Amino acid sequence: MRLITTLLLIGVAITVNAQVLYPGYHLNEYYELLRIKNPELADPITYHPSIIHTYAADSALKWDLWNGRFDLSNKGDDYIEVLDPFMRLGYISNVPDHYNDGAVWEGKGFNSSVNFGFTGRKGMLSFTFAPVVFHAQNNDFYIPSVPSTKSEFSYPFERRIDWVLRYGDQSVNRFNLGQSEIRLLYKKFTLGLSTQNMIWGPAQVSPVIMSNNAAGVPHLDIGTAKPIDTKFGKFEFKVFWGLMDESDYFDTDDSNDQRYLTGAVFGFQPKFVEGLSLGINRVLYRDMFDGDFKPIDLFAAVWGQISNPDLPNDDYDQMLSLSVAWKFKEYGFETFLEFARNDYPGVIIDFFEQPDRTRGVTMGFVKSFDLNNGNIFRVVFEHTKLNKIKLSTVASGHAAYYVHSQVENGYTNRGQLMGSYIGPGSNANHFKFQLYTPNGRIAFNIDRVRFNDDYLADNFAPAFNQPNDGSFLTGIDYLRFINDFSVEASISRTNRRNWYYEADRDVNNLSFTLKVGYTPGRTN
């Protein structure tokens, strides 16, 4: 705690700037509101990085309820500035249940974290150092014993996934590079080496393929720095290559500790349909050091199909999604859809021939209401479905999301899911109601999750003599600006019913969080 407080005070003592979207920070959602209210603001299409200096505004924003507390001004070619520090303190009474926090993991008991760093640019070279330090008390809680070769602390209902439920039996103290990178920018193209989190698609809570639920993967990427305008519309693309790490709580086999991850994302905004954004998102991962890696594997993300002997289909777990978002900025309304296929055969046309096979979907809408006093009321609804088509039958050939027969540790990085936080075979609904004022924000949210129906269907159909494992969360959050600081307090209650498919094993979970950031008002 002393280290965290010292780092925060050092950051406050220096002139600061904010162009990094830390996972779990209130500026993430405010940035979405700025994009709706300012049509002139450069708009990501389907690739949403955490480091957003290339999307800086060339002039003052026409609408900014928080008076420049999120600095989006263009800094030019040569600058270096300290990032806004951000500290988080929390307590969880029974079961870890936080999500979309990047590298941070919060266990039962007391938790704390701090984000800090600096960013700058010199000519074509930009750089950001934005690590995170966190502590988790990590008290003991119930994890069922399931026969397996896995660690006792790992998720017991899928053998081939490194999804950690508890990081050992001691307190956890970690340093992670977080949202850090070195990047070359030439006109509108970029080449970077990065550990930042990236979100693919328009989902607000639960993206299917790429989210900020886990630590960002160390990766090399090449593509557009921001959308490029043409006579047909705007487009963006990015191809990347990275390494996913196994946690210390999966197995004792050192040979599978790293997986090769590659992906490509393409976004398009046609000029003939105002507000429409289309995206194609593809990711593939496989064992890295199994002796079968070839140079052609470097092109797997852009290869039309994975079917020839030099690039075997079954070596990879593959996911592909199509995303659609339609914004009506004059009405403050956006509707969106991400439709995904899991472990598809490798021939793109199959995506259209069998759209229901291994499908996953996230859909929803966002609506902002302008109130007479100048405040904004914002409503978010999102539904995610990753389970089989029918719970009453075992859907043939429907592989579980984030799990693959040939990749031992699944679609995770350091023990956390890289896609939707709800995990394989699950479905969820999310509601958010937010009131934005010049002095802050008050929010109320409701989450409903039913966990891994695929496991239930595969192991207990047709009798279904086991109950569903589900949770219902309600929470309230209050953010207030006090001089140059932001202070955010939240409390949530989760009722987990039939925990781990055990009838009448119910648990009530309370979570308290205090977030403090240094976010002075500025003029863009």
pLDDT in tens, 415-441: 999 999 999 999 999 999 999 999 999
Q: Is residue 524 part of a domain?
A: no
Amino acid at 315: D
**Cis geometry, peptide bond prior to residue 462 (ω within 30 degrees of 0):** yes
Do 134 and 121 contact (CB within 8 A), yes or no?
no
Which DSSP string do the residues of 413-442 spell out, in sequence order?
ETTEESS-TT-TT-EEEEEEEEEEETTEEE
Task: Enter the DSSP assignment of 411.
Answer: S
Rounded to whole angstroms, the Cα distance separating 198 from 445 reads: 24
Q: Please tell me the total count of domains within the chain.
A: 1
Which has more pLDDT, 522 or 410? 410
pLDDT at 314: 65
pLDDT at 148: 73
Highest average pLDDT, of 38-42, 52-56, 103-107, comes from 103-107
Please enumerate in sequence order all residues whose Cβ is within 8 A of that of 229, keeping only pairs 6 or more positions apart, or say none: none
Q: What is the CATH number of the domain that holds 31?
A: 2.40.160.130
pLDDT in tens, 499-515: 998 888 899 999 999 99
Q: Is residue 523 part of a domain?
A: no
| Residue 63 binned pLDDT confidence (cut-offs 50, 70, 90) | very high
User: Domain residues for 140?
Assistant: 2-518
CA atoms within 13 A on the CB side of 274: 4
Ramachandran region, residue 346 (left: φ > 0; alpha: ψ -120 to 50; beta: rest): left
pLDDT at 304: 59
pLDDT at 311: 53
pLDDT at 305: 57
Q: Is residue 402 part of a domain?
A: yes
Whole-model pTM? Answer: 0.91
- Asked if the model's pLDDT at residue 7 lies above 70, the reply is no
Q: Is residue 209 part of a domain?
A: yes
pLDDT at 351: 60
SS3 call for 140: coil
Please enumerate in sequence order all residues whose Cβ is within 8 A of that of 303, keeping only pairs 6 or more positions apart, or say none: 296, 311
pLDDT in tens, 172-198: 999 999 999 999 999 899 999 999 999
pLDDT at 360: 92
pLDDT in tens, 355-403: 677 889 999 999 999 999 999 999 999 999 999 865 544 445 567 899 9
pLDDT at 519: 86
Which has more pLDDT, 13 or 1? 1
